[in-house]
Structure 1
Amino acid sequence: MIIAIKHLHMSLAMLSIAGFLLRSYWLLNESRWFSARLTKILPHVIDTALLGSAITLLVLYHWNPLDHAWLIAKIFALLAYIGAGIYAFRLARNKREQVLAVATAVVIIGYLLGVALTKSPSLLLI
């Protein structure tokens, strides 16, 4: 059962990232799809399921995030990613700010994936 939840979590993470990249593309190209109702609702559904799968894994593995530096790093990186996304999609005043916020979010996504794969907040660089 743990393997199934882990695969669900990874699939939802990839779906969430793909959705972010697609919405970013629509934003930067001023597509009408960026403002579509489904575009506003579906990411919340996916991300809620992603969070639920993460919490389920914590419970099944008996992990306390405070006992694992890589989990703490993922939580802080996730908060930074959310902040960059909010800035890009809602707060940026011009195209330059949108591009910088999206680029920042993409770098954070890379870090999140690296931490998830290596189970190391330093990505094994030290």
Structure 2
Amino acid sequence: MEYYLDIKHLHLSLITLSGVLFLLRGILMLKSSKALQMKTLRIAPHIIDTGLLISGVSLAVMLGLKPSEAPWIMAKLIALVVYIGFGTIAIKRGKTYLIRATAFIAALCTFGYMVSVAITKSPIPWA
């Protein structure tokens, strides 16, 4: 537990960075900007999200949290998969502008859900 606060702050910083970068990339996608193809904007999300996943797993291990015993952790993991799916459709795989825009909004909503689950420690944060 010696490094818990350091890892938690890193995790929170990476969440913010990941969210802001996804928002930026989504706006560029909506504007059909060529900037979206910049190497930095294609590589940075993978590096940030890998760090985010490693820090999240590290925190769960430090706290002895298991998805099977902590429903909010399981909810975040499921939401993460959904978020990645929507994000991929929004930024890369959506065939039409409407599909991409809809997936972008859905991804942002999913991101918000994950944040609210983390804050409330409940898989149903609005209850």
**Do they superpose with TM above 0.5?**
yes
Which has the larger displacement, 43-52 or 60-69? 60-69
Q: Take 1:32 and 1:8, find their aligned partners in 2: how far apart are those partners? A: 31
Which residue is equivalent to 2:8? 6
TM-score by length of 1: 0.95
Alignment counterpart, residue 80 of structure 1, candidates 82, 86, 107: 82
Question: Which of 40, 46, 49 is matched with 2:48 structurally?
Answer: 46
CA displacement 1:45-77 (0-9 Å, x = unmatched): 000100110111112112112110000000000
Q: Hey, what does 1:66 align to over in structure 2?
A: 68
Q: Find the aligned partners of 2:68 and 2:126 in 1 and give their Cα distance.
A: 19
Q: What CA distance in whole angstroms lies between the structure 2 residues aligned with 1:79 and 1:7?
A: 23
Q: Percent identity?
A: 38
Q: Which runs of 4+ in 1 moved over 2 A?
A: none
What is the Cα-based RMSD across aligned positions, in Å? 0.9
2:91 counterpart residue number: 89
Q: Deviations over 1:7-56 (max 9, x none)?
A: 11011011001010000011110112100111110100000100110111
Stretches of structure 2 that go unaligned for 5 or more consecutive residues are: none
Unaligned runs of 5+ in 1: none
User: In the TM superposition, what is the alpha-carbon distance from 1:124 to its structure 2 partner?
Assistant: 4.8
Partner of 1:23: 25
> Paired residue for 2:107?
105
Residues of 2 paired with 1:65 and 1:27: CA distance?
34
- Using the size of structure 2 for normalisation, the TM-score is 0.95
Deviation at 1:4, TM superposition (A): 1.3
